[in-house]
Structure 1
Amino acid sequence: MLAQHRNVWAYGAVVGALTVVGLAALFPFYYVVIMSFTAPSAFTTTQLSLFPSEWSLDSYRYLFAVRTFLRSMGISAFLAVVGTLLSLLVTSSLSYGLSRKRTPGRKPLMLAILLTILLSPGIIPPYLVVRELGLINSVWSLILPVLTSGWFVLLMNGFFESLPDSLEEAAVMDGCNEVRAWFSIVLPLSLPAMAAFGLFFAVGYWNTFFSAILYINDFEKWPLQLVLRNLFVEQSALGGGDVAAAMLVGGETIPLEAIKMAAVVCATVPVLLVYPFLQKHFAKGAMVGSVKG
Structure 2
Amino acid sequence: MRRKMNGADYAIHAVLLLLAFMMILPFYNVVITSFAHPSAVAKQSFYLIPTSFDLSSYQMVLQGSYIGTAYLNSVIVTVAGTIVNMLVTTCGAYALSKKGMPGQRIMMSGIIFTMLFSGGLIPYYLTIKGLHLINTMSVMILPLAVNTFFLIIMINHFRSIPPSLEESAKIDGANDIFILFRIVLPISLPTMAAITLFYAVARWNEWYHAMLFVMEPEMHPLQLYLREMLMDVTKMARDDMSATMIAQLSNTYPDGMKMASVIMTMAPIMLVYPILQKYFAAGATLGAVKE
TM-score range, shorter chain: 0.7 to 0.9
Aligned residues, how many? Answer: 284
CA contact (8 A) 1:35 1:258 kept: yes
Q: Which residue pairs with 2:182 in the alignment?
A: 184
1:160-202 per-residue CA deviation (whole Å, 9 max, x = no partner) reads 1111222122222323222122111111112111111111111
Q: Which deviates further from its counterpart, 135-144 or 52-61?
A: 52-61
Q: Which deviates further from its counterpart, 69-78 or 92-101?
A: 69-78
Q: 1:148 to 1:75 in 2, by over 3 A?
A: same
CA contact (8 A) 2:82 2:199 kept: yes
Tell me by how many angstroms 1:159 deviates: 0.6
Q: Which residue pairs with 1:224 in the alignment?
A: 222
Whole-angstrom distance in 2 between the partners of 1:163 and 1:247: 65
Tell me by how many angstroms 1:292 deviates: 5.0
Whole-angstrom distance in 1 between the partners of 2:225 and 2:84: 25
CA contact (8 A) 1:230 1:236 kept: no
Q: Which residue pairs with 2:62 in the alignment?
A: 64
Q: Which residue pairs with 1:103 in the alignment?
A: 101
Q: 1:282 to 1:184 in 2, by over 3 A?
A: same
Whole-angstrom distance in 2 between the partners of 1:197 and 1:290: 12
CA contact (8 A) 1:62 1:247 kept: no
Q: 1:233 to 1:66 in 2, by over 3 A?
A: closer
1:197 and 2:226 are equivalent in the alignment = no
Partner SS, residue 33 of structure 2: helix
Tell me by how many angstroms 1:43 deviates: 5.6
Match for residue 51 of structure 2 among 43, 53, 56:
53
Match for residue 170 of structure 1 among 168, 171, 175:
168
1:41-81 per-residue CA deviation (whole Å, 9 max, x = no partner) reads 75676665434333233433443343322322222222222
Whole-angstrom distance in 2 between the partners of 1:265 and 1:276: 17
1:270 and 2:268 are equivalent in the alignment = yes
User: Where does 1:148-163 land on structure 2 (aligned, <5 Å)?
Assistant: 148-163=146-161
RMSD: 3.0
Q: Which deviates further from its counterpart, 98-107 or 162-171?
A: 98-107
Q: 1:255 to 1:235 in 2, by over 3 A?
A: closer
Whole-angstrom distance in 2 between the partners of 1:16 and 1:149: 38
CA contact (8 A) 1:39 1:55 kept: yes
Whole-angstrom distance in 1 between the partners of 2:14 and 2:287: 36
Partner SS, residue 163 of structure 1: coil
Whole-angstrom distance in 1 between the partners of 2:132 and 2:279: 38
Q: 1:93 to 1:292 in 2, by over 3 A?
A: same
TM-score (norm 2): 0.84
Whole-angstrom distance in 1 between the partners of 2:114 and 2:37: 51
Q: Which residue pairs with 1:13 in the alignment?
A: 11
Q: Which deviates further from its counterpart, 152-161 or 103-112?
A: 103-112
Match for residue 134 of structure 2 among 136, 153, 168:
136
TM-score (norm 1): 0.84
Q: 1:23 to 1:247 in 2, by over 3 A?
A: farther
Q: Which residue pairs with 1:213 in the alignment?
A: 211
Q: Which amino acid aligns with 2:203?
A: Y
Specify every segment of 5 or more residues in structure 1 that has no aligned partner in the other structure, as ranges: none
Q: 1:45 to 1:183 in 2, by over 3 A?
A: same
Partner SS, residue 119 of structure 2: coil
Aligned-residue identity in percent:
38
Match for residue 281 of structure 1 among 274, 279, 282:
279
CA contact (8 A) 2:82 2:203 kept: yes
Tell me by how many angstroms 1:39 deviates: 4.8
